[in-house]
Amino acid sequence: MQEFERIDPSPDRGSFRVVALWALASAAGGIGFAVAFVLEADVAVLGILLAIALAGMAAAIRRYVLATYPQVTGVEERPALPTEAGSAGQVEGVVTAGEQQPAGQRMGRRTILVAGCGIAVGLVAPATAMGPTRPDIGLRTRWSDGVRLLDDEGELLSPAALPDGGLDTIWPEGPDGQPVREELSSVVLVRAPVDRLRPPTHLDGVVDGNLVAYSKVCTHMGCPVGLFRAGTGALFCPCHQASFDATAGAMPTFGPAERPLPQLPLRLEDGVLVAAGEFIGHVGPTTGLRPREGRPTPAEIEGSE
């Protein structure tokens, strides 16, 4: 490096008295931090003292260097890049030396390359041990005909428990009488703000004409569809704002969801709500492998009426 510019140290660029002051402030901050830490001080006190210790040291070092060293700007010649004719040519000669060999040896090299692919395949196979893979994602839930509905506290539900415009999170009852909190079995029970629900709701799975249950798992990204605009009967996902019409088969009305929330058919047994079967449709987001039931066609909607 050759010198290009130079500024000599001078008193106005930094003095040792200032250096000492900053260094002492830093030390005070550091010791203060240790004391505060032992006394279990609040995060605000600890943070401020630590900042004083660090900032004081930064200022001291800067002042010290400015006061001590001439500020030099240097200039260096950049190393030249190799040219085709120069060193690059030599490297090529080494790498391609094999091509000068007779044909038989070249075949040996190809065999090694092909055999290497075998190793690669062998090393990929253990990935299958990373997790059990099931072909039926989103197809298994705990619901079947006769499974009783439980709320989040594990209580059985009578239709009267849910007032107009009400929404409740529901779980299937397990063998031990406790709610089974499995995501794919989560359900929202909705008292839609209308007298009668409209198709494509499966009306024979509805109680009181307006009490209906849908999967709580958004068909967009799987977030829980937990918000209900009681006035319009819209179910709403907090993640990406997908909206579903709870009064009409939970069809998507707005936002990024493509498919309706699957309906869980209900019936009454001994005065409490039970499932009348499995979900109608596939639970959860789209997978990249198997087509899911999409929107019902207009003909299907009319046909169910």
Partner 1 sequence: MRNPAAVVVRGIDRRLGVSPLIAKLAVKAFPRHWSFLFGEVAVIAFVILVLTGIALTLFYEPSAAMVTYEGGSTLHQGREMPAAYASVVTLSHDVPGGLLLRRVHRLASHIFVAAILAHLIRVLATGAFRAPRELTHLIGVALLVMAAISGWTGHNLPFDVLAGTSLRILYALVIAIPWVGETLAQWLFAGEFPTGQMLPRMFALHALWAPLIITALLGLHLALIGHQDHTQRPRDDIDAERYVVGEPLWPWQAMTSTVLALGIGAVLAVAAALLPYADLDLHGPYRIGEATNASQPDWFLFWVEGLLRLAPPFEFAALGAVWSAPFLMGVALPLLLVAATALWPWIERAIRGHEDVSHVNQRLHDIPVRAAAVWAGGTFVAVATIAATNDVIARLLDAPIEIVVVVLRVLLIAVPLVAGVTAGLVARRRQQKLAAPEEAAAVEG
Residue type at position 75: V
Give the residue, chosen from 8, 43, 110, 112, that forms a contact with partner 1 under the rule CB under 8 A.
Answer: 43
Contact residue for partner 1 among 102, 118, 131, 163 (CB under 8 A): 131
The piece of 11-19, 97-105, 192-200, 289-297 that touches partner 1 (CB under 8 A) is: 289-297
Q: CB-wise, 60 or 207, nearer to partner 1?
A: 60
Q: Per rule CB under 8 A, is residue 216 in the interface with partner 1?
A: yes
Question: Which is nearer to partner 1, 5 or 99 (by Cβ)?
Answer: 5
4 interacts with partner 1 by CB under 8 A: yes
Closest to partner 1 by CB, 101 vs 232, is 232
How far from chain centre, in Å, is Cα 96? Answer: 48
How many Cα neighbours within 13 Å face the side chain of 59? Answer: 18
Q: Given candidates 199, 256, 267, 268, which one binds partner 1 under the rule CB under 8 A?
A: 256
**Per residue in 207-234, is it b (16+ CB within 10 Å) or e — as a string?**
beebbbbbbbbbbbebebbeebebeebb
Nearest-approach distance from CB 232 to partner 1, in angstroms: 11
Site string for partner 1, 49-68 (x = CB under 8 A): -xxx-xx-xx--xx--x---
Say whether residue 270 binds partner 1 (CB under 8 A).
Answer: no
Asked if residues 191 and 214 have their Cβ atoms less than 8 Å apart, the reply is: no
- Does position 84 interact with partner 1 (CB under 8 A)? The reply is no
Measured distance CA(168)–CA(189) in Å, rounded: 5
Say how far apart CA 96 and CA 81 lie, in whole Å: 22
Q: What are phi and psi of 190, to 5 degrees?
A: -125, 135
Does position 85 bind partner 1 by CB under 8 A?
A: no
